[in-house]
Amino acid sequence: MRETAKTLPFACDPVRVTQDDVEDAIRTILTWIGEDPSREGLSETPARVARAYKSYFAGYAQNPEDYLRKTFEETAGYDEMVLLRNIPFQSHCEHHMAPIIGRAWVGYVPRSRVVGISKLARVVEAYASRLQIQERMTAEIANIIDEVLQPQGVAVVIKAAHHCISSRGVKKHGVDLTTSRMLGCFRTDPMSRQEFLAMVNADLKD
């Protein structure tokens, strides 16, 4: 019987997949596209690709919740919107493993505690460093901030270009996908929503 991902001994157990297994898989792909994996220029490529994948998908080893655990309460009662704008990210689509290159806007209205602003970007980074569809990534970022910080509201907008529709398939360049998730006051209060979207739109005009 031909070995498939299901019959291989390491199936579904990432701990048992070795660097050698990954390099073999890359050599298989190189052969399949018509290359000679043993030629000089490609001899180190399987190891490089394995390292690159570790980096692209570092988010599987991260728990985004952890980034939001440390909060600051001495805010003098600050209860207006906190908005981190234009957060660049790169991800990969789960259908083609092709790059998704985009920007995120993450806003929230604190109840009593605020989080270090770098942590909002770290949450984006952790979810982006996994195979994604943009809708899920958008929801995951908003949901985790809502769960851990329990703010008055959370709003997330993501605008991204999907290379799977530009470099292959339908081959449409210059097309972006915009997604948003509004929770709490951003969902129920049109003024909060408008204030947030006005800032996003101002950035999108730049």
Ligand X SMILES: Nc1nc2c(ncn2[C@@H]2O[C@H](COP(=O)(O)OP(=O)(O)OP(=O)(O)O)[C@@H](O)[C@H]2O)c(=O)[nH]1
Residues making contact with ligand X (CB under 6 A): 93, 95, 133-135, 162, 164-165, 169-170
Among positions 70, 95, 111, 168, the unique one binding Zn ion when judged by CB under 5 A: 95
Bridge partners (DSSP) listed for residue 106: 84, 156
Least Cβ distance, residue 97 to Zn ion (angstroms): 8
Do 44 and 38 form a contact (C-beta atoms < 8 A)?
no
Among positions 22, 164, 177, 204, the unique one binding Zn ion when judged by CB under 5 A: 164
CA distance 119 to 186: 21
CA distance 2 to 118: 48
Q: Note if 96 is an active site residue.
A: yes
Least Cβ distance, residue 163 to Zn ion (angstroms): 8
Question: Is 12 a known ligand-binding residue?
Answer: no
Span near Zn ion by CB under 5 A; candidates 11-19, 91-99, 102-110, 147-155: 91-99
Q: Note if 134 is an active site residue.
A: yes
Bridge partners (DSSP) listed for residue 72: 114
CA distance 119 to 177: 24
CA distance 142 to 128: 13
- Residue ranges of the annotated binding site for Zn(2+) are 93, 96, 164
* Residues with catalytic function: 93-96, 134, 162, 164
